[in-house]
Chains A and B, each alone.
Chain A
Amino acid sequence: MTINQSGWKPTTPVASASETGTVTGNRALMLEEALIFEIGDTETTGVDFYLPSRSREGLGEGLSSLLRTAPIGLPGLTEPETVRHYTRLSRQNYAIDLGLFPLGSCTMKHNPRLNEKMARLPGFADLHPLAPRETVQGALELINELAFWLIDLTGMHGVAMSPKAGAHGELCGLLCIRAALEARGDPREVVLVPESAHGTNPATAAFCGYRVENIPATSAGRVDLEALKARLGPDVAAVMITNPNTCGLFEPEMKAISDAVHAVGGFVYCDGANFNAIVGKVRPGDLGVDAMHINLHKTFSTPHGGGGPGSGPVVLSEALSPFAPLPYTARTADSVVHLVEEEQADAFSAEHFGGKVQSFGRMTAFHGQMGMFVRALAYILSHGADGLKQVAEDAVLNANYILRSLEDVLDAPFAHSGPCMHEALFSDKGFADGFSTLDLAKALIDEGYHPMTMYFPLVVHGAMLVEPTETESKAALDQFIMALRSVAERAKAGDPALKTAPVHAPRRRLDETLAARKPIVAWKEPVPAAAEAPTPSEVGDR
């Protein structure tokens, strides 16, 4: 470890020998790692610069009053130190490359490495978003090709490619709906959102200026169609449905829901986060959906990268397509792919769409997530027509296998409702007093698994949502089932050891209340009085 030349010291001790039995705090292959601010310094750099052959000339001297005078305080490390720092940190993460990652509603599947290789081709990765169009025809063609498959697979009419993530796509879809309603002089005020919806749905509707009203779920975990019909009226702009829903169930009355919404002049927004369960089996367009975002990173696999970036193109019905945000891509009769931006939007619309395109504007600075477009297209072509269908079937098969293999030991509130789709829902009903989903989840960590989604959906108390995805083998599922069964039995028996889990992870249970009550979200150089590292008990008293 580098001696920190500026004299910065850790704010808190990494560990003490008494806790880990080692003087370093390391445990064999599990290595503790200090912050870059504690090991780097402002005079070290891991980059060598070439010296320009011509000297700097007289311009720019007027900048003097704007030049930095005080140091920024950015630590630097050499390349070997940098590689070691980040490699050590990486080993403190669970990842899909290490094992099953059964986060329901999040869809953690294998990430093909070909997709990574393709996204890094200089002909895609090294293109400027404002490059002259004649120099990026291949990129536009790729966007157009992907757009074609997204439309084809969903049975829709158009697609807005630029949204940056699923929630951004929701925003895009609702803005299209709002623009379409305003274009027909029919502003409406209310968006209906079922209880089982993702939390982003109501947040998005509120962001678009709508009043949000909840629609209850039936005891079978579906949208209550009668309650929905009773609420529909001329003030309802849209209904936001997640299908398959977050209880892991398909909404069998989806078409009836759509028809009822359309009958009162509203639109149907479908949260397509779970499209991977039905791709190649059902087209949302056939169910009357008007707008649906597709999480490319979930259905068509982009690595989640510790929380993003995602990509959320929105497929649109014929009624909504003209309102899609700029820029969009379109191929003309001469086979040239056009990227349509503000500058040509009106002329292009007049020439090729009879003037019907009335985009509501721009949602992001450039064209969207090109890197994800490349990965998604590689995924679609690799699977092909037979493979995509198999993806949905295997995802659903795997989830039902888990549901049926565990329903005798874990409460499965909707198991009686029929097969689940790509995720299985359990609850903590039957656990010993004082034992919760959290305890089971933390014990699973010690068994070498990332826990399932906890406490979601909100309609089930102590919910556990398990999504295995299609890239798990039967052997992997069997081992997971064995582990989950064992932990569930311990939770029902009230095994006190569960309360202290995890014990084998890089950290034991972390104090989230302390983090929120006294937030420390950036490193601060210790003040001299506190230069000596506090003991753990002092830290706990903060």
Chain B
Amino acid sequence: MRYLPLSNADRSAMLDTIGVAHVDELFRDVPEEARLDGPIRDLPLHASEMEVERHLTALSRKNVPAADAPFFLGCGAYKHHVPASVDHLIQRGEFLTAYTPYQPEIAQGTLQVLFEFQSQVARLFGCEVANASMYDGSTACWEAIGMARRITRKPKTIISSGLHPHYVGVCNTMAKFTGDRLETSLPALTAETDIEALLGAIDDETSAVVVQYPDILGRVADLSGLAAAAQARGALLIAVVTEPVALGLLKSPGEMGADIVVGEGQSIGVGLNFGGPYVGLFACREKHIRQMPGRIAGETIDADGRRGFVLTLSTREQHIRREKATSNICTNSGLCALAFSIHMTLLGEKGLRQLAELNHARASQLAARLAAIPGVRLVNDLFFNEFTLELPVEARPAVHKMVEKGVLGGVSLGRLYPGADTLRNGLVVAVTETATDKDMDALVQALEEVTK
């Protein structure tokens, strides 16, 4: 009971003050038949720190951490080195155990961080404004579609076949219930993205076109024509970035004309965490700021005229507008946004550029070596740090055979697109700065063996 400071003497004294004899009298509104008597079924009594640590450590050892094997998985989550000071700083109790900054006078630390985070995200994405973060990239993507609908008042959203299928899944789930019309298709194993098809699909009913950059197969393409075509018909271009490190090297979607840019910030500062917590990034044009969902920190002054920060534009939010709110979300990923912002500050523009170049160089080297394996075809020649191979065999079993050789060799498209026969030989390989020469040698050898 190391976390509970009341002693039995305290409890007795407090019950006296309240004027009841036993604590159960405080639960008297709970119907008798619903009350539990005695200890909770099956659950053991309280455990020491050492016992809990042993149990959880034993569970953790049944897993293979990414750092323990040659590792090449991507598809929306990326393994990057996170500088030690990031985790050290986010564990400062004043950041770690603070709440939402509802009392700005004593939350300037969090609020200034959020303002800096928003500024970094807006610049990285080539937009004017950004919010204080979302749950993750996939939910940010859905929120962007909703925002476009509010702005354009049109019913149809066209989704690129290159959008992460789990993101498409999230959007489909929501659209089923909100009545939005979503149009999407499966990607083809070709070097070309589906921009031509998207251009042809835009009509006057179109609210938004959603395109991922780089896309699920790792392909990159110029979005500016698509942005112009969408805008010419009164639609918005939503760009989704799942690997923000790419923007250290590549033009940002905002620069190419995207109206809303959302993304997953996990790559920078956050770590893999088996899928969460992650940090959704959300940026847009300034003119749409009042339609942007989520929390926003804004600059203002205090009673002495000193600069300070507050949460602002909350008139869109659930606690004020209830059923008319622009979104039901009532939180952000504050601590992950802090980690993102610290890592980005450590990198700075120069470091981000170097990191991006290093990622691209490593990926380029490995792609060339893998493409030289007999029967293996490199699908896309334009990529950042992730590319797709077409194997001479089905990729899903190949991934498991590589595990037996101690190599985590990529994500099979069969796992992401069950039932899609045209994609079953596709393997998506991500290469970051963490892949050593030895790791790359191990993958080349393992893939050679499993494709024989």
Contact = CB atoms under 8 A, between A and B. Distances in A.
Given A200-B330, A419-B28, A52 B362 contact: yes
A470 B2 CA distance: 12
Interface string B315-338: 101111111110111111111101
A435 interface: no
B223 to A, nearest CB: 9
A122 interface: yes
A361 B172 contact: yes
A400 B26 contact: yes
Contacts of A305: 90, 95-98, 333-336, 338
A44 interface: yes
A307 B97 CA distance: 9
B349 A308 contact: no
Given A381-B47, A511-B302, A363 B98 contact: no
Contacts of B272: 125-129
Interface in A133-151: 134-139, 141-142, 145, 149
A288 to B, nearest CB: 10
Contacts of B358: 49, 52
Interface stretch (B48-56, B181-189, B202-210, B225-233): B48-56
23 contacts: A40-B348, A45-B354, A46-B85, A50-B433, A59-B381, A74-B348, A83-B89, A89-B113, A92-B109, A139-B63, A145-B59, A206-B323, A282-B27, A287-B31, A287-B34, A366-B278, A370-B274, A378-B52, A387-B1, A419-B18, A445-B106, A509-B302, A511-B302
Contacts of B275: 129, 365-368, 370
Interface stretch (A64-72, A225-233, A262-270, A488-496): A64-72
Contact of A123 (B61, B303, B362): B61
Interface string A55-92: 01111101101111111111111010011011101111
Given A79-B83, A138-B63, A386-B46, A360 B176 contact: yes
Is the interface on chain A under 10, 10 to 19, 20 to 34, or 35 or more residues? 35 or more
Contacts of B249: 63, 67-68
Interface string B380-411: 01110000000000000001100100001001
B135 A49 contact: no
A118 B336 contact: no
B258 to A, nearest CB: 14
Interface in A250-265: 250-252, 254-255
Contact of B85 (A41, A82, A93, A96): A82
B99 A282 contact: no
A7 interface: no
Contact of A56 (B35, B83, B93, B364): B364
Interface in A283-332: 283, 286-287, 303-311, 325-326
Nearest to B108: A92
Given A46-B347, A93-B95, A521-B130, 9 more contacts: A76-B351, A130-B77, A281-B36, A307-B334, A383-B46, A398-B14, A510-B301, A519-B313, A521-B115
Nearest to A81: B345
The listed residue with most A CB atoms (<10 A of its CB), out of B10, B53, B56, B336, is B56
Is the interface on chain B under 10, 10 to 19, 20 to 34, or 35 or more residues? 35 or more
A353 interface: no
A204 B328 contact: yes
Given A202-B323, A307-B295, A49 B85 contact: no
A516 B315 contact: yes
B105 A502 contact: yes
A363 B363 CA distance: 31
The listed residue with most B CB atoms (<10 A of its CB), out of A112, A137, A250, A382, is A382
Nearest to A120: B87
Given A93-B107, A385-B40, A401-B17, A116 B91 contact: yes
B150 interface: no
Contacts of B322: 199, 202-203, 212
Contact of B56 (A127, A311, A364, A374): A374
A3 interface: no
A42 interface: yes
A68 B333 CA distance: 29
Nearest to A403: B18
Interface string A379-398: 01111111111110110111
Contacts of B362: 52
A376 to B, nearest CB: 11
Nearest to B164: A365
Contacts of B83: 46-47, 79
Given A37-B119, A385-B40, A90 B95 contact: yes
B25 interface: yes
Nearest to B336: A309
A350 interface: no
Given A74-B352, A512-B312, A86 B342 contact: yes
Contact of B250 (A46, A63, A76): A63
Contacts of A97: 93-94, 96-97
Interface string B101-128: 1111111111011111011101110001
A498 interface: no
A425 interface: no
A441 interface: yes
B6 interface: yes
Contacts of B138: 362, 364-365
A236 interface: no
B57 A98 contact: no
Given A306-B338, A309-B336, A401-B14, A141 B62 contact: yes
